[in-house]
Amino acid sequence: MTIDERAQVPTARRIVVKVGSSSISGDNAGQIGPLVDALAEAHGRGSQVILVSSGAIATGIPYLALNGRPTDLATQQAAAAVGQNVLIYRYQDSLDRYEIVAGQVLLTAGDMENPTHRSNAKRAMERLLDLRILPIVNENDTVATHEIRFGDNDRLAALVALLVEADLLVLLSDVDALYTKPPQEPGAERIGHVGWGDDLAGVEIGSTGLSGVGTGGALTKVSAARQAAERGTAVILTATTLVAEALRGETVGTWFAPAPSAEDAADGVSAASAPVGDAEAAQAATL
Distances (CA, A) of 91 to 34, 129, 134: 11, 17, 10
173 carries a ligand binding annotation: yes
Contacts of 134 (CB under 8 A, 6+ apart): 39, 43, 49, 50, 51, 95, 100, 101, 102, 103, 128
4 carries a ligand binding annotation: no
> Rg of the chain over CA atoms, in angstroms?
17
Answer whether 188's CB lies under 8 Å from 180's CB.
yes
18 carries a ligand binding annotation: yes
Angle at 58 between CA 66 and CA 153, to 5 degrees: 145
54 carries a ligand binding annotation: yes
Query: Is the dihedral angle over the CA atoms 184, 189, 194, 200 positive or is it negative?
Result: negative
261 carries a ligand binding annotation: no
Q: Residue 262: count other Cβ atoms within 10 Å of its Cβ.
A: 10
Q: Please report, in range form, the residues annotated as the binding site for substrate.
A: 54, 141, 153
Q: Please report, in range form, the residues annotated as the binding site.
A: 18, 54, 141, 153, 173-174
Q: Please report, in range form, the residues annotated as the binding site for ATP.
A: 18, 173-174
